[in-house]
Copies of this chain bind each other. A is one copy, B any other.
Amino acid sequence: MNRLLICRLLGLIALLIGGSMALSLPWALPLFGQTKHFEAASFFALLGSMATCGLVGGALMYVGRRGKGQTLYRREAIAVVGLSWLLATLLGALPFWLSETCIRIDDEGNRVRMGIADGIFESASGFSGTGATVLTNLEASADPDVPSLVPRAILFWRSQTHFLGGLGIMVLFVAILGMGSAGKALLLTEMPGPSQESAHARTQRAAATFAMIFVLLTAVLTLLLRLQGVSWFDALCHAFGTIATGGFSTHNDSVEHFHSVGVEMTITVFMILACTNFTLLYYLLLRRPGKLLGDLEFRVYLAVMAAVALMVILALRFDGHYDDQGHWTRYSLADSVRYGLFQVASIMTNTGFGTDDFDRWNSFSRGLLVLLMFVGGCAGSTSCSIKVIRHILFFKILWLELEQVFHPSVVRPLRLGDKPLEDPDIRKDVVMYFGVIVLIFVIGWMALIALEPDSTWIEAGQPAGDKLIDCASAVAATLNGVGPGLGIVGEAQNYAHFHWPGKFVLTWMMLLGRLEVFVLLVLFVPRFWRGR
């Protein structure tokens, strides 16, 4: 294990994160109309965070200075990816801690400052593209005594962590690890390019292409939102949240705030694009849309989304939902389509934006949306969760297994389209991934139930009897990078009421889900660190 190289690369990442904080600085100034006065506290908090990142990064670079120019092997790559996410989570929490960001106002009317667990939770949620938040009152409420609890510059940093995390996933994870033996079978579609290219050059080119597409999508979405009258601040923050399939908004009522079908449809299209295999999007840029339209995973992805959306729309139209006054009522067909489509796309792509409180929909829709959290988008995208390709392979394997029950000697190859998958381990790997996700879901669920006292529900004004299902939805929403769940963590609620042990559990869920479990788990295997 080449620890010097790892230190050096982590140092580089710390410097990059520190440097990128400069983008959040201007929003503390009254230049862009986002704040009426100079937000001194958050300005200096960001400066302090940048200095800390610089110190940490410099120190790591200095320790690892002799690691320069050495080769990055598989084990080092895994260590860098895993550790860089942990490091980013800590560094990203600095602006929250140093500024006077508050999470809520307690019963006595006092502002509750962001604690250690809150900062780490919010930072992990940002970098992992989850979008679960502990913050309330992102903007001034109707009550004049309750101004915004979060400075604008901090709000921008929060959304910016989505951008950094999404970029990191596409470059660090998909490009470096996804090109390995295991990931290759899942990504399937090879990047177009010279076939004589070395593996190293191919990886570098893939990383660069993915980063380019990621930035391009963000830029285009920002412009499209701006053209529809959204301010630059909101347009940028929502573009960050959409393309990284994160879901942090700058408004208390998320995308509902804009009251614009156009904005909602634009964001829906880009959520869907962000969860499409970036290699296929690259083909689209090369004007070869056939690759995209003919891709099995992409077609199943759209088909599942359409089928679920149809079921939810029918449920909304013909069964109903609870309105603001708690009455059971029905939407018109137009509203059913509007809210149903957006919410299904938002949940399936693991973004988590909201235009309606889906926790007030009927049980069938709520259950379906929780299940949909476990589907996710395509491999090779910013989507978190299990991903469509694994579901396709799972059902194919199941079908082959059924035949093996009565014909044990007949062994058919696993096919995808017209290509047989030759890797003998792929069956075991795909099925194992389901098992591990369920195992982690179950462990997280029990840990959250055990650590979070029942009184949390009573304090939040929620029925305590919902603890089991609320905790299940909270773990599902964080493990799959969605954000909002049911009940106490529903669309109109957030994670502010949880205590630090519960937040700690959910923080791990977000990181485990984002890094597809194994990359983080192996860091705790002693043998991983031993030997050459």
Complex contact B445–A408 (CB within 8 A): no
Q: Contacts A402-B525, A525-B403 known; A367 to B446 CB distance under 8 Å?
A: yes
What is the chain B residue whose CB lies nearest that of A454? B363
Stretch at the interface among A9-17, A227-235, A462-470, A502-510: A462-470
Select A408's contact among B181, B401, B466, beta carbons within 8 Å: B181
Chain B residues whose CB sits within 8 angstroms of the CB of A486 once the complex forms: 468
Select A469's contact among B428, B432, B469, B528, beta carbons within 8 Å: B469
Select A432's contact among B401, B442, B446, B454, beta carbons within 8 Å: B401
Q: Is A307 an interface residue (CB 8 A)?
A: no
Chain B residues whose CB sits within 8 angstroms of the CB of A525 once the complex forms: 402-403
Complex contact A468–B469 (CB within 8 A): yes
Stretch at the interface among A22-30, A244-252, A433-441: A433-441
Complex contact B454–A362 (CB within 8 A): yes
Q: Is A392 an interface residue (CB 8 A)?
A: no
Interface set, chain A 389-444, CB cutoff 8 A to B: 394, 397-398, 401-403, 405-408, 427-428, 431-432, 434-436, 438-439, 442
Complex contact A432–B397 (CB within 8 A): yes
Complex contact B427–A367 (CB within 8 A): no
Chain B residues whose CB sits within 8 angstroms of the CB of A78 once the complex forms: 405-406
User: In whole angstroms, what is the CA distance A438 to B463 when docked?
Assistant: 28
Interface string of A472-515 (1 = CB under 8 A from B): 10000000000000100000000000000000000000000000
User: In whole angstroms, what is the CA distance A466 to B403 when docked?
Assistant: 39
Shortest beta-carbon distance from A73 to chain B in Å: 9
Main secondary structure of the interface of A (DSSP, over half): helix
Chain B residues whose CB sits within 8 angstroms of the CB of A181 once the complex forms: 408
Q: Is A208 an interface residue (CB 8 A)?
A: no
Chain B residues whose CB sits within 8 angstroms of the CB of A55 once the complex forms: none
Copies of this protein chain in the complex: 2
User: In whole angstroms, what is the CA distance A111 to B388 when docked?
Assistant: 50
Complex contact A371–B468 (CB within 8 A): no
User: In whole angstroms, what is the CA distance A439 to B437 when docked?
Assistant: 13
Complex contact B436–A398 (CB within 8 A): yes
Q: Is A284 an interface residue (CB 8 A)?
A: no
Complex contact A398–B432 (CB within 8 A): yes
Most buried by B among A432, A436, A466: A432
Interface set, chain A 172-207, CB cutoff 8 A to B: 180-182
Interface string of A297-331 (1 = CB under 8 A from B): 00000000000000000000000000000000000
Shortest beta-carbon distance from A392 to chain B in Å: 14
Complex contact B446–A435 (CB within 8 A): no
Complex contact A521–B402 (CB within 8 A): yes
Chain B residues whose CB sits within 8 angstroms of the CB of A402 once the complex forms: 518, 521-522, 525
Chain B residues whose CB sits within 8 angstroms of the CB of A466 once the complex forms: 465-466, 469
Q: Which residues of A contact B (CB under 8 A)?
A: 74-75, 78, 180-182, 362-364, 366-368, 370-371, 394, 397-398, 401-403, 405-408, 427-428, 431-432, 434-436, 438-439, 442, 445-446, 449-450, 454, 463, 465-469, 471-472, 486, 518-519, 521-522, 525, 527-528
- 14 pairs, CB–CB < 8 Å, chain A vs chain B: A75-B407, A78-B405, A180-B408, A364-B446, A371-B446, A394-B439, A401-B432, A401-B518, A402-B525, A405-B519, A431-B431, A431-B435, A438-B438, A465-B466
Q: Knowing that A363-B471, A431-B431, A465-B465 are A-B contacts, what are 5 other residue pairs whose CB atoms are under 8 Å apart, sorted by A's residue number?
A: A364-B449, A398-B439, A406-B528, A428-B431, A465-B466
* The 10 A-B residue pairs with the shortest CB-CB distance in the complex, in nearest-first order: A363-B467, A469-B469, A75-B406, A431-B431, A405-B518, A434-B435, A367-B449, A428-B428, A468-B469, A364-B450
